[in-house]
Structure 1
Amino acid sequence: MSEQQEAVHGAVELRYDPELRDYTAALRARGRVSAAARRQRILVGAATVCLVAATFLSLARGADMPAALPVALLVCGSLLFLSPWLVARQLFRFVRRQGEFRVRVEESGVSVDTHNASTVIRWQAQPRYMETADLFVMLSDDKNATSLTVIAKRGARDRSDVDRLREILDRHLTKV
């Protein structure tokens, strides 16, 4: 293999410390393809709309508004926007104890090494991916995208590594 081919088809290595924002963004991205997340958004959104309508009807009639109504509206509205962050916080408690992430992406799959664990993910295990401004998020192909792998672009040595990583993912995974 020539040096140029080696540079294009060689492994990409990244090193980074995980951050809460990585997992918040990854869960928001996953929520766009997860059936369970869509159901949750629809149900919480519908509950919020119903509570807003009930509040306006109470106010329009001049009736006393039950105290629980604004509280329920606040809770439902907050859940609609905060749930990815809340779940990411719980997940991040575990992730941050892993220490620095060392990720190697190559033609056979992705390996992730931390201070406490090593994992190899073959392309068949997570055959889809999404890209955000700061991340690549690999996803399982079940309807809820139960399994995911977060790869932070900031761990790349330079921009060309990010481009090569994208090329490897494009060759082996379906971009969603």
Structure 2
Amino acid sequence: MSEQGTVHRAVELRYRPVLRDYSVALRARDRVSPAGRRQRFLGVATTGCAVVATSLSLAQGTDVPVPPLVALLLCGPVLLLRPWLMARQLFRLVARQGEFRVRVDESGVGVDTESSSTVVRWPAQPRYLETADLFVMLSDDKNATALTVIAKRGAQDRADVDHLREIFDRHLTKV
């Protein structure tokens, strides 16, 4: 019971993770972490410079220098695919754990799978962000290295998602 006499109930979710959960979570983390923003900026800048160098060479009728051409062919696709590629690696580990049973209460987040149990207390990952399908808890280090992904589809009803958001708002900082 809290100071106002309100009973805070736990929210329980059950779901099997999918690759998209981790791809979306990593893209969202990249938007809020300095390292993610820096990598995206550098990728766009490198691709832009390569496009300009290649265009100038073609306009002047000279051979296209190999380094800008390689940068153009590699940086663009890598920039777009990096979160998905990282998510694939992470998902290989996660998928083997089977169904996730998540319990969120005033003490933190408990995650039970077929092969492990973990409890994340609020101070360990004091920030969160929300996407259309997920809540993503983030550590407070500069790069948001640690994250916990919670799929909204695991909630029994919409009220549970709203209650989950209330719990997060009480204990975490939304980014």
What TM-score, normalized by structure 2, do the two folds share?
Answer: 0.94
Alignment match, 1:99: 98
Aligned-partner residue type, residue 155 of structure 1:
G
Alignment match, 2:174: 175
SS of equivalent residue, structure 2 residue 156? coil
Displacement after TM superposition at 1:71 (Å): 4.0
SS of equivalent residue, structure 1 residue 57? helix
- For the pair 1:143 / 2:142, whether they are aligned, the reply is yes
SS of equivalent residue, structure 2 residue 129? strand
Equivalent residues in 2 for 1:11-160, closer than 5 Å = 11-66=10-65, 69-160=68-159
Displacement after TM superposition at 1:35 (Å): 1.7
Displacement after TM superposition at 1:131 (Å): 0.3
2:54–2:65 contact (8 Å) kept in structure 1: no
Which aligned segments of 4 or more residues in structure 1 are displaced greater than 6 angstroms?
none
Q: Deviations over 1:66-103 (max 9, x none)?
A: 45644431210111111100100010000000110000
Tell me the distance in 2 between the aligned counterparts of 1:134 and 1:74. 33
Aligned-partner residue type, residue 110 of structure 2:
S
Tell me the distance in 2 between the aligned counterparts of 1:155 and 1:60. 55
SS of equivalent residue, structure 1 residue 31? helix
Question: Which runs of 5 or more residues in structure 2 are unaligned?
Answer: none
Question: Which runs of 5 or more residues in structure 1 are unaligned?
Answer: none
Aligned-partner residue type, residue 103 of structure 1:
V
2:12–2:102 contact (8 Å) kept in structure 1: yes
Displacement after TM superposition at 1:129 (Å): 0.3
Tell me the distance in 2 between the aligned counterparts of 1:53 and 1:66. 12
Tell me the distance in 2 between the aligned counterparts of 1:173 and 1:30. 15
Q: CA RMSD in A?
A: 1.5
Q: How many residues are matched?
A: 172
Aligned-partner residue type, residue 112 of structure 2:
D
What TM-score, normalized by structure 1, do the two folds share?
Answer: 0.93
